Structure 1
Amino acid sequence: MVLQWDLIGDAELGVLADPPRLRSVRRITGGPEPDAAFDVPDAAFDRVAMLIHKLVDAPMGAVCLIDEEHQFLAGQVGVPEPLASARRMPLTHSFSRHVVVAGEMLVVTDVRDDPRMRDNPMISEIGAIAYAGAPITDPDGLIVGALCAIDNEPRVWTPSEVALIGELAEVCSSEVRLRIARSAEEEARRAAESAHHQLELLAELTESLAGTMDVDEGMRRLGDIVTATLADWCVVAVADDPGGPAQVFAAHCDPDRAADMTRLTELAAGARSDLRALLMAVRGRGRPVRTADGATELRDRIIDTELAEIATRAGFGGSLIVPVVSSVRRRALGAILLVNRPDRPAFTAAEEWTAAEIGRRAGLAVENSRLYREQRHMAEVLQRSLLTELPEIPGVELHARYLPAQDGAAVGGDWYDAFAQPDDSVMVAVGDVSGHDIEAAATMGQLRNLVRGDAYGRDEEPGVLLTALDQTLHGLRVPASATAVLARVRKSWSGYQVGFANAGHPPPLLLLPDGNVQVWWVPPEPLLGLPPREPRTTARRFVPAGSTLVLYTDGLVEDRDQLIDDGIARLSAVLREYAARPADELCARLLEVAPHRSDDIALLLVRLT
């Protein structure tokens, strides 16, 4: 395809057609006439594109290489056909050429507002709207392309997303440099093969660390991967706070040394451990320390006899210590000690570079875990601040639990409530507003307050109250879509009378004094927040003293692999088995049988004495 030169400025062409830069590009794409370049998908580049797609949550991820006439999709995920198969396009269709020309990362919220990009045909052809691209460089630092993430709608890229794209672009740059070196000469080819293996290690490590937000699990995975390829054994020590305690993990390639590594972890984690002090000293230095034979130097610094014996049994030859570096806070968080047995060669400069990259990725994993914990804590504090403190009511024991979903840090719309009426009846409610975000939590707070405001001081049945609530939500244009159960508990001559209305919610359960369980199914009625139609109904049940009413949200019973009836049957079985246990224990047992916790859970137990 002939390039429309009049659409590309002379200054741009001067950069794009720079001979040394093109030489590097052509070594990767296969020559000056790359008709078959990347006709077969490239697994390494596709894998990096997949990491961009997964970790940044972008519809499209691509590894783009740029010559003077084409953009090549060396790796891609999410790009529509026919571009996905063709793997190349004219430069008039390239956003990434601007990264090459600018010589730096480009982050664009809406390309339609950018004078350089707003006329690009890819806006209409594939719906490309938001773009973030980081340079991919050759051994001389020349930019040969870009690793980019593309969204189909305007998007403000977060600092952590920008940092992650930059980190993965470094991985791509490493691969590019290896391929250029491999094509230059046989010696470079051998070096490139070794470094490519290290790149696969880094890609595997990056993907594995991205799969967990738990620091302990992340460091365990790091140890397993590193000892499978790079070193015979390793010790990782990280401390989130500069003066805080370090978390230590040790791993060995020989499964028979697992007990030794467990004991080494215990000893190295001690407050006065000389090994931990050594690792923290390297952390403070901020640069790798490589020794051809670490036995003499490191043994001299390990005073603890048992620790020295374990190190000797593990095999203490060549060693390498690299800092675990935070790319967010620009400081070292810990260090990684890599050790080979005496019969293996010393670590090379290339392996030192790989180990330093491992330290950077470990630092990114620690930062991600810290940010996740902070966000989750804030979400839980906000969520709990919106929930009611249960009142003390004579004759009625109230016990509630709220658990956020385990797969995210967002607040949700699950809630419970209970309050006494002036006529001595008790109102209890459980509901679930659609969504898992701040809007859902805010709507939940509004809905809970409306239920209280509409119901307090009135003696109407729950069906009438929910009908009035529908009208209020509709009239005030409150954007609520929610399920709920509202019940009024009254004393009666034989025990209690419970009237309840159900707006699309899972049915209440009643644990009777004899251990039997009733499931209070009623004909389904619409969710709250829909335009009001027919008046809602109130179901009535007479309940003996000593019974326990159980209200809950769907997170306690719903499982994508089962029917809701199976979840309700599971709860009923727990209630029967632990009927005589205290209410607090009963709550705990009910939560134990919850499914995979992909949803929030609100649970309210009303024990009628």
Structure 2
Amino acid sequence: MVLQWDVIGDAEQSVLGDPVRLCSVRRIGRPGPDEAFDRVAMLVRKLVDAPLGVVCLVDAEHQYLAGQVGLPEPIASERTMPLTHSFSRHVVVAGEMLIISDVRTDPRMRGNPTIAQLNAIAYAGAPITDPDGLVVGALCAVDHEPRDWTNSEIALLTELAAVCSSEVCLRIARATAEDARKAAEDARRAAESAGQNLELLTDLTESLAATMDVDEAMRRLGRIVTGGLADWCVVTYADEPGVTPHVSATHRDPARAADMDRLAELAARSRTDLRAIVLAAHRHGRPVRRVDGPAKIRDRLSDAEIASIATTAGLGSSMIAPIISSVRRRILGAVLLVNGPDRAPFNDAEERVAAEIGRRAGLAVENSRLYREQRHMAEVLQRSLLTELPTLPGVELHARYLPAQDGAAVGGDWYDAFAQPDGSVMVAVGDVSGHDIEAAAMMGQLRNLVRGDAYGRDDEPGALLTQLDLALHGLRVPAAATVVLARVRQSWSGYAISFANAGHPPPLLLLPDGRVQVWWVPPEPLLGLLPQDPRTTTIRYVPPGSTLVLYTDGLVEDRDQLLDDGVARLAERLRTSSAYPGDALCTRLLEVAPHRSDDIALLLVRLTG
């Protein structure tokens, strides 16, 4: 048999295959019984007195019997026929009503298999149109005998076809409205998802930037990612090739924290499963999505306990995102994101977010590495500039220097002690403005100037600091610093301590009986500001067994309290710790530092002789 496409030709085929028309056919409804169209088919049989009434919808390959009466099984249930069996396709091609008394004599239809299959002899079909006037099908009346269709029957078919066309237009309008609603909902969800993803990345950036501890940064990453992107995740990274990788695991359910800690411990120890994750990240260099069932994922896990924990955590879809160093242009590790089986697989937008997470994690690792390197160099520089305390008769010296826990880890705090040729001892504690390597370098200059200016001279500390102001000004050294400079001499009553204070916290004195004195003096300008009047010297006489405490403001300064409160807190700790030996006393005093947001220099001078 010759197929219909060969019979109707290219022009007619283009009508049946018109995409706009086919879109209307699809929008009318799914193939199958349709109550509304079945009623119209029943009206055709009753009013036209035809044994078969059919509402046909025609696409490019089939005709669908949306409404029917009188058709035999299985056609009545299946509701679909190929185009080779369709009379109504000719109505669609012609775009007008088709009336045939005997299809066996019509050259377009006489070979149609429907003639024998349904005993279809007479055919009358009226076009059913969509809102644009395109013919989507036909309302048909079919008789088993040759028949001359009357004008009233033709008019009736035309009216009933118009009813079908109205129903078609209504359904298309509803479908269009539903599509618009879905599109708007999809757009809303996409915008909402985009907003959530942007918020996630913003939170991640702020959280990672708030710490230089890379382990803490990766834990924060896990908490943020499982809060908005995945049910659970594993993060692994290594700063350098060949070193033991760091592993952390997080679940959105806090009750699974212990399981995740165990999972991280096992992964770091066994390495096999962990290596597979990292190799996948290296191999692709971009996020890789997988939609595997729990069984397939378990099969890829070599460690039985890891597989058990992962199964309990929930296995569905997964995605591996590489942690990429933008500095060294290499992959440092990977983030494994996992969703449970009841959650949708990761989509394209989430893949882009995962790629950005990997980049930002890589930046956090690099920032931490560079920070550690800078901190190490700064601390080496800082400590190289601090004095090694001398051993002096009758004087026991103890000192501590602690860098700030945050920031550049280096600053301008310093302590110093040295013996004069006349047997007296010079001690100093100071603080150059700033918290960076420049401040440390300036501190080294200033400490050396203090030493050079004071050594071998018997001037009192006030005169020495006055001369130092002139030197800083004349040499154009851009230093601004607070400092306490003191000279300790033996005297008839024990010791005489003379000191000058340039804008520094007051010295403390622990007496042998446990009482503590705070040596407040009228404030004088910072060192380097060239005061108008000579600096003053204060002299105090103290008994043997006393301890002089000099310190920088990082030990007592608290942005929520007055400096006096911090000094009082330190004095109280000194009083209650009077029985401790020197090193232990230093440790006790350092404990009162409020936030460790500033460097601390501490010098204890115990007068034992």
**Could you say whether these structures have the same fold, taking a TM-score greater than 0.5 normalized by the shorter chain as the test?**
yes
Structure 2 residue runs of 5 or longer lacking an equivalent are: 1-180
Q: Could you tell me how far 1:379 is from its partner in structure 2?
A: 2.0
Other-structure match for 1:555: 554
How many residue pairs are counted as aligned between the two chains? 427
Matches within 5 A, 1:106-505: 190-270=189-269, 272-285=270-283, 286-293=285-292, 295-409=294-408, 411-505=410-504
Which letter maps to 2:442?
Answer: T
Alignment RMSD (CA, Å): 2.2
Which moved further from structure 2: 234-243 or 589-598?
Answer: 589-598
1:515, 1:276 → 2: CA distance? 60
2:276, 2:494 → 1: CA distance? 70
2:192, 2:461 → 1: CA distance? 72
Which letter maps to 1:307?
Answer: I
1:343, 1:187 → 2: CA distance? 21
Preserved contact between residue 511 and residue 575 of structure 1 (Cα < 8 Å): yes
Q: Counterpart of 1:269 in 2: which secondary structure?
A: helix
Q: Summarize the Cα distance change of 1:351–1:480 in structure 2 as closer, same or farther, 3 Å threshold.
A: closer
Q: Could you tell me how far 1:438 is from its partner in structure 2?
A: 3.9
Other-structure match for 2:564: 565
Preserved contact between residue 408 and residue 436 of structure 2 (Cα < 8 Å): no
Q: Summarize the Cα distance change of 1:540–1:187 in structure 2 as closer, same or farther, 3 Å threshold.
A: closer
Preserved contact between residue 282 and residue 288 of structure 1 (Cα < 8 Å): no
**Larger Cα Rg: Structure 1 or Structure 2?**
2
Q: Counterpart of 1:441 in 2: which secondary structure?
A: helix
1:567, 1:440 → 2: CA distance? 24
Q: Summarize the Cα distance change of 1:202–1:183 in structure 2 as closer, same or farther, 3 Å threshold.
A: farther
1:216, 1:479 → 2: CA distance? 40
Which moved further from structure 2: 507-516 or 296-305?
Answer: 296-305
Q: Could you tell me how far 1:336 is from its partner in structure 2?
A: 0.8
Q: Summarize the Cα distance change of 1:190–1:255 in structure 2 as closer, same or farther, 3 Å threshold.
A: closer
Q: Could you tell me how far 1:185 is from its partner in structure 2?
A: 7.8
2:408, 2:315 → 1: CA distance? 43
Q: Summarize the Cα distance change of 1:303–1:533 in structure 2 as closer, same or farther, 3 Å threshold.
A: same
Which letter maps to 2:306?
Answer: L
**CA offsets, 1:250-287, max 9 Å, x none?**
111112111111221222222x3333222222343223
Which letter maps to 1:299?
Answer: R
Matches within 5 A, 1:500-579: 500-579=499-578
Q: Could you tell me how far 1:419 is from its partner in structure 2?
A: 0.4
Q: Could you tell me how far 1:435 is from its partner in structure 2?
A: 2.4
2:562, 2:189 → 1: CA distance? 57
Other-structure match for 1:144: none
2:393, 2:304 → 1: CA distance? 65
Preserved contact between residue 315 and residue 340 of structure 1 (Cα < 8 Å): yes
Which letter maps to 1:429?
Answer: A
**CA offsets, 1:202-245, max 9 Å, x none?**
22222222222221221111111111121111111111112111
**CA offsets, 1:330-376, max 9 Å, x none?**
11111111111122222223322221221111111111222222222
1:306, 1:539 → 2: CA distance? 72
**CA offsets, 1:6-28, max 9 Å, x none?**
xxxxxxxxxxxxxxxxxxxxxxx
2:336, 2:273 → 1: CA distance? 10
**CA offsets, 1:551-581, max 9 Å, x none?**
0111111112111110001111211222212
Preserved contact between residue 281 and residue 320 of structure 2 (Cα < 8 Å): no
1:483, 1:366 → 2: CA distance? 37
Matches within 5 A, 1:39-78: none
**CA offsets, 1:93-123, max 9 Å, x none?**
xxxxxxxxxxxxxxxxxxxxxxxxxxxxxxx
Q: Could you tell me how far 1:541 is from its partner in structure 2?
A: 1.6
Q: Could you tell me how far 1:294 is from its partner in structure 2?
A: 5.5
Preserved contact between residue 317 and residue 346 of structure 2 (Cα < 8 Å): yes
**CA offsets, 1:121-165, max 9 Å, x none?**
xxxxxxxxxxxxxxxxxxxxxxxxxxxxxxxxxxxxxxxxxxxxx
Query: TM-score scaled by structure 1?
Result: 0.66
Which letter maps to 2:243?
Answer: G
**CA offsets, 1:314-340, max 9 Å, x none?**
112211111111122111111111111
Q: Summarize the Cα distance change of 1:532–1:230 in structure 2 as closer, same or farther, 3 Å threshold.
A: closer
**CA offsets, 1:531-562, max 9 Å, x none?**
24322222122222222111011111111211
2:404, 2:576 → 1: CA distance? 26
1:294, 1:371 → 2: CA distance? 42
Preserved contact between residue 556 and residue 591 of structure 1 (Cα < 8 Å): yes
Q: Summarize the Cα distance change of 1:538–1:281 in structure 2 as closer, same or farther, 3 Å threshold.
A: same
2:446, 2:372 → 1: CA distance? 29
1:397, 1:563 → 2: CA distance? 32
**CA offsets, 1:479-513, max 9 Å, x none?**
22221111111123443221111112111001122
Q: Counterpart of 2:517 in 1: which secondary structure?
A: strand
Q: Summarize the Cα distance change of 1:359–1:428 in structure 2 as closer, same or farther, 3 Å threshold.
A: same
Q: Counterpart of 2:384 in 1: which secondary structure?
A: helix
2:476, 2:201 → 1: CA distance? 52
Q: Summarize the Cα distance change of 1:278–1:522 in structure 2 as closer, same or farther, 3 Å threshold.
A: same
Query: TM-score scaled by structure 2?
Result: 0.66
Which letter maps to 2:459?
Answer: E
Other-structure match for 2:122: none
Q: Counterpart of 1:218 in 2: which secondary structure?
A: helix
1:568, 1:418 → 2: CA distance? 23
Q: Counterpart of 1:452 in 2: which secondary structure?
A: helix
Q: Could you tell me how far 1:193 is from its partner in structure 2?
A: 4.0
Preserved contact between residue 430 and residue 484 of structure 2 (Cα < 8 Å): yes
